[in-house]
Chains A and B, each alone.
Chain A
Amino acid sequence: MFNSSFDAVVPMVCVTLAALAVMGAEAFRSRGESLPVGGLGIVGLAGAAMSSVLLWNRNAASFGVIVADNFALFVTITLVLVGILTIMFSSPVVKRDGLPKGEYYTLILFSVAGMIMMASANDLLVIFIALEILSIAVYVLTGIRRDDPRATEAAFKYFLLGAFSSAFFLYGIAFTYGLAGTTRLDRIGAFLAAQSMSDNRLILVALGLLLVGFAFKISAVPFHMWTPDAYEGAPAIVTGFMSTGVKAAAFAAFARVFLSAFEPFSGEWAPVVWWLAAATMILGTVVGVAQSNLKRMLAYSSIAHGGYLLVGLVAANQVGKAAILFYLLAYAVTNLAAFGVIAMLGTKDAANDELRDYAGLWHARPALAGLMTVCLLSLGGLPPTVGFIGKWYIFSAAVGAGYYGLAIIGVLTSVISVFFYLRVVVMMYMSDRPATAVCPPVSTVGMVALVASIVVILALGILPTPVLTLAAESIATIF
């Protein structure tokens, strides 16, 4: 690296350049020509990952508003992983569904760039800009199948509610600026620390508005209404991308804002987040039980997983903060792989994402069924998968902070969630395959990505120590 003030932005610049390159390639390609733009995107993402590794432990900062501390870098690497897996899972889907290849990958890459920026931002306004960069790209991705009315509806809903929540967030920024005279997180933190004794109601208003804005983005109950519709309507792989990437980025920013800048007021927000976490876990799982569409079910499950992450935020101890990072990684890989399987089973005309479409999958595609089972068991938090380690980490943070109630709600809801994950397993293994069922051919690239995810899921489930240590180091430098 150059040791300049640009260091901290290198990862997102890599991704942005890749996005621009893909766009350029799309613009200048001759008609009918198909360029390996997905590979170009992976190169950019790999560059981002590499620069993140080089920046590790350096605490680089650019312009005072972008920081590349270990927390940001850990999330960046998670997001890069999400990006790479998404591109690999997408490549057969793009071809199959005839999606506009150039636009599709450009949008994915731009939104990853926004996500990285969001995770690294040290300024409320930069967070907002990053949020918009990623959101707008994802709105378009949601509706990228223009011939599908459900996708269009989902995109529109997502856009409206997303804009609505952005307004909340912006309003919160305005109040904060009005009080503290700055949007820089470190300065806000210093200002609030000095104010911690005063009972300035406006601080609470700012806090509340920001909280609502974030709660929308991470789809915490009761701000989750957009999630099931958007997730169900979007193409499966885009749903996987949003439910992992967007959530990871939003959570990183959420954690940074609330655990650093607004830390002095944790006495005010922690009880609220306690209730958000409890409601999110309960509603996500209980409603998930009633779903018969796999994508919708996983949408509710991803709501519930947001609840577990909130538990780590409430606990707010060293373990809790590291647990958020670890859980984000664990959840991202697992959930994305699950959506990868759904995407692979779809065809151009039929999404094949109803529960009954999975009947007897084991007989037709044993490998795919087995891999899906590992994903589901990991989502359910059963050993020896990374999902178990993640849940264990989160709940040990809660127990360590004395939140036994929240931990108990968490484990009980995870048992309920196992019930609906098992429904899929029951379908795949214990039902007969209807004669009419079609099984699209499995693409090699997708299978490679899937097997790689499964290896990560099992490896981190059995030997989590290196990543646990990294996660613990990542939060040691900040907060």
Chain B
Amino acid sequence: MLTLSWLLPLAGALAVMFVPNADGRRDGVIRWLSLVTAIGTFAVTLAIWGGFDPDSAAFQFVERVPWIPAFGIDYFIGVDGISLLLVVLTGFLTPIALLSSWGSIERKVKEFSIFMLALEAAMIGVFVSLDLFLFYVFWDAMLIPMYFLIGIWGYDQRVYAAVKFMLYTMAGSVLMLIAILGLAYLHSSATGVYSFDLLKLYALDIAPQTQTWFFLAFTLAFAIKVPLFPFHTWLPDAHVQAPTAGSVILAGVLLKMGTYGLLRFSFPLFPEAATYFAPWLAVLAVIGIVYGALVAMVQPDMKKLVAYSSVSHLGFVVLGICAMNVQGVQGAIYQMLAHGVSTGGLFLMVGMLSDRRHTRLIADFGGLKAVVPKLTAAFLIITLASIGLPGLNGFIGEFLILLGAFRWDPRFAVVAGLGVILSAVYMLWMVQRVYYGPVTHAENATLRDLVPREWVSVVALCGIALVMGIAPMLFLRPMEASVDALIQRVQTAQTLRVKDDGRQKSKVKSQRSENTSEPLDHTFDF
């Protein structure tokens, strides 16, 4: 079942590859074929959600086949509460991204569809891999289709952006590869056999010094992906230059891989190093929140504005993860989903505007409300969702994160709170300049409102944003057990180590034990 979720889009990509389309006459067939595949994949991910047992913290839908037995490498996949909804998110956004391309991608439709579907396969693969080798394969393989999507169908600076994206991400991930190899080697010196099995590696007792290095190697890879300040410089280029579908996927799913990696690998594998570095990461996250917001405020280009807002919003996610308590982590995962929906939606609608007007500059618009009322309404809803208006999806995540951060270290919460206010400033200001006031440019007076195709994806996004805002338990419930287990793992490992080390770390312990002694409650109800 789980294999199907990534194999199906790959099979779709292969099928598209064999549709003869030299003259572009079968573009329609290809578009429908890939859309059907993507919707089918979404259905599969929903079925996985349906069959998921929310009371269990264990990995479910587990499949394991030996792959390279000499090195203990298995094809080992499964989902838990942390990855489940990210898989569903990927399944949800890909058809939307594909639909968005119907109006904007006119040349080389076949190759575009192949790359999109391959990208989806690799993204789902990243989220479901429980073998570090397999994870790395998907992680790196994902770069290839994204690189082509940006480089071929992007805007003017596309080549620069594509290469920068690729090299940045690779530079981070190769060091992670060394750390993965190091872990497998440690496992072999402890037990006599190599293993890349995540669950076995969780059980490994790693010396603090080694933890530090490995944690840094893993976290660098993820920090670049998130992107955490100051590793974010690839992001504005990639987001702005990518075609709309690429931006939607980049913002919606790809960035989450970084934060997912922190949750799945960095923190539970190296709990002690994670505790040591968490405040530093949080500092970077908070800087990112404020910095991203401030830079977003002065952007003349809508796409760039949304891109920088991602830096800010992802800062919240990292902050929540660093807090490592129930509220923080649940909020982080929630915010990952919410950001996927709302920023994906923003990129989508900015793309619609830019398809119509061939410009993304705020100054070229104004007074669109009278011309495109439906688009304006949808844009406003998603904007409010992104800002974190109660009743919409962004609120729950940010609120939980701030709560978690406050329980951990109020100072971070205070500064991060500033980011919430700033996001309202830059987003609403943009909406005001683009949609309200008089129509300042004559070209804008004749813009087309949403066509039915666009209508479908916009309604889906707004609907999800609303559901996530009103019924958060629907989404929080599946992650509870896994989040508890994760926090317990991180904290138990710390306490064990603290016992060994005696007084030296007592300060850390006293601070931590406060958290542990409290029941891991999530009685926080809405």
Contact = CB atoms under 8 A, between A and B. Distances in A.
Co-assembled chains A and B:
yes
A415 B181 contact: no
28 contacts: A383-B140, A388-B140, A392-B133, A392-B177, A395-B177, A396-B71, A396-B184, A400-B181, A407-B181, A411-B174, A411-B175, A411-B177, A412-B174, A418-B167, A419-B167, A422-B163, A425-B151, A426-B159, A429-B148, A429-B151, A430-B151, A430-B152, A430-B159, A430-B162, A465-B68, A465-B69, A468-B68, A469-B70
B61 interface: no
Interface of A, secondary structure class, is helix
A399 B182 contact: yes
A472 B194 CA distance: 15
Given A419-B163, A426-B163, A414 B140 contact: no
A427 to B, nearest CB: 10
Contact of B170 (A396, A404, A418): A418
B68 A430 contact: no
Given A383-B137, A384-B141, A404-B178, A415 B170 contact: yes
Contact of B144 (A377, A415, A426, A430): A377
B177 A400 contact: no
Interface in A401-416: 404, 407-408, 411-412, 414-415
Contacts, number: 80
B158 A430 contact: yes
B167 A415 contact: yes
Contact of A408 (B170, B175, B185): B175
Contacts of B182: 399, 404
Given A465-B69, A472-B70, A399 B181 contact: yes
B166 interface: yes
Interface of A: 377, 382-384, 388, 392, 395-396, 399-400, 404, 407-408, 411-412, 414-415, 418-419, 422, 425-426, 429-430, 463-465, 468-469, 472
Given A399-B178, A422-B163, A426-B159, A383 B141 contact: yes
A461 B143 CA distance: 16
Nearest to A419: B167
B276 interface: no
Give the 10 A-B CB pairs with smallest separation, nearest first: A411-B174, A399-B181, A383-B137, A396-B181, A383-B141, A415-B170, A430-B151, A415-B171, A400-B185, A430-B159
B137 A388 contact: yes
Given A415-B171, A418-B167, A422-B166, A382 B143 contact: yes
Contacts of B174: 411-412, 414-415
Nearest to A380: B170
B455 interface: no
Given A384-B137, A465-B68, 9 more contacts: A392-B133, A392-B177, A399-B178, A411-B175, A412-B175, A415-B174, A419-B167, A430-B152, A465-B67
Contacts of B188: 400
B256 to A, nearest CB: 21
A388 to B, nearest CB: 7
Contacts of B137: 383-384, 388
B140 A382 contact: yes
Nearest to B143: A382
Which among A399, A404, A408, A469 has the highest number of chain B CB atoms within 10 Å? A399
A7 to B, nearest CB: 29
Interface string B125-148: 000000001001110110110011
B353 to A, nearest CB: 25
Nearest to B142: A383
Contacts of A464: 68
B37 to A, nearest CB: 20
Interface string B468-508: 00000000000000000000000000000000000000000
Contacts of B68: 464-465, 468
Contacts of A422: 147, 163, 166
A463 B152 CA distance: 30
A425 B159 CA distance: 10
A311 B478 CA distance: 47
A469 B71 CA distance: 11
B445 to A, nearest CB: 35
A334 to B, nearest CB: 16
Nearest to B17: A370
A384 B145 CA distance: 12
Contacts of A400: 181, 185, 188
B372 to A, nearest CB: 33
A384 B147 CA distance: 15
B160 to A, nearest CB: 10
Nearest to A407: B178
Which among B69, B138, B140, B174 has the highest number of chain A CB atoms within 10 Å? B174
Contacts of A412: 171, 174-175
A408 to B, nearest CB: 6
Contacts of A408: 175, 178
Contacts of A425: 151
Interface in B177-191: 177-178, 181-182, 184-185, 188
A382 B158 CA distance: 21
B301 to A, nearest CB: 22
Nearest to B217: A408
Given A412-B171, A415-B171, A395 B163 contact: no
Contact of B151 (A377, A411, A426): A426
Nearest to B182: A399
A395 B188 CA distance: 15
A63 to B, nearest CB: 35
B67 A411 contact: no
Contacts of B151: 425-426, 429-430
Nearest to A363: B108
Interface string B64-76: 0001111100000
Nearest to B178: A407
A407 B182 CA distance: 10
Contacts of B177: 392, 395, 411
Contacts of A469: 70
B323 to A, nearest CB: 32
A409 to B, nearest CB: 10
A244 B320 CA distance: 51
Nearest to A472: B70
Contacts of B159: 426, 430
Nearest to B213: A404
A418 B173 CA distance: 13
Interface in B349-375: none
Nearest to B177: A411
A429 B178 CA distance: 31
Nearest to A411: B174
Contacts of B171: 412, 415
Contacts of A383: 136-138, 140-141
Contacts of B71: 396
A283 to B, nearest CB: 19
A351 B182 CA distance: 45
Nearest to A464: B68
Nearest to B153: A430
Given A400-B185, A430-B159, A411 B178 contact: yes
Contacts of A414: 174
A329 to B, nearest CB: 16
B131 to A, nearest CB: 13
Contacts of B141: 382-384
Contacts of B67: 463, 465
Nearest to B73: A465
Interface string B109-130: 0000000000000000000000
